[in-house]
């Protein structure tokens, strides 16, 4: 596991921020596609036989496409050393060392820079301002 300094993590945001923006957008698109698929399936279960099979197949394919793209983006964020914590909010962490202990530098989409850290066991609720 790579450990970042706050400066290194902030520098990595130049590459990671656009990925997180895409991740959140694809998560929303995936949720919307799932809702559409569930509505179609519910209509069919309720004897709604007027839905062509191709319509349901297209909805299922859209769910699958969005899921694949979402997984690809999460993997790419991980390749930059960041950990995705919340797909909907765009919350990511960068591992760091503080007095020999691995902690997490915490960033959320919409924040201009990494300004918080927390212990692994504390999570987002335990965010503390930088510097350490």
Q: Average of pLDDT values for 8-14? A: 97
pLDDT digits (tens, 9 = 90+) for 92-112: 999 999 999 999 999 999 999
Task: Give the tens place of pLDDT for each residue, 19-62.
Answer: 999 999 999 999 999 999 999 988 888 876 688 889 999 999 99
Give the pLDDT confidence score for residue 46 in this predicted structure.
80
Cα–Cα nearest to 96, from 25, 7, 14: 7
> pLDDT averaged over the chain?
95
The token pair at 76 is 């790419």
Specify the pLDDT at position 90. 98
Q: Which residues pair with 118 in a beta bridge?
A: 104
Mean pLDDT across 111-123: 97
Q: Which residues contact 108 (CB under 8 A, 6 or more apart)?
A: 86, 89, 90, 91, 92
Q: What's the CA gap between 108 and 63, in Å, rounded?
A: 25
| Domain segments of the chain as ranges | 6-129
| pTM of the complete model | 0.91
pLDDT at 47: 74
């Amino acid at each position: 596991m790579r450990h970042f300094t706050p400066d290194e993590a902030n520098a990595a945001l130049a590459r990671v921020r656009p990925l997180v923006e895409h991740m959140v957008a694809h998560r929303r698109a995936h949720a919307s596609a799932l809702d559409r698929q569930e509505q179609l399936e519910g209509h069919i279960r309720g004897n709604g036989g007027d839905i062509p099979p191709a319509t349901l197949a297209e909805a299922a394919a859209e769910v699958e496409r969005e899921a694949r793209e979402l997984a690809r983006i999460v993997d790419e964020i991980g390749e930059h050393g960041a950990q995705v914590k919340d797909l909907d909010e765009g919350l990511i962490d960068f591992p760091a060392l503080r007095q020999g202990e691995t902690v997490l530098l915490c960033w959320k989409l919409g924040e201009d820079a990494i300004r918080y850290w927390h212990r692994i066991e504390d999570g987002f609720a335990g965010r503390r301002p930088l510097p350490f």
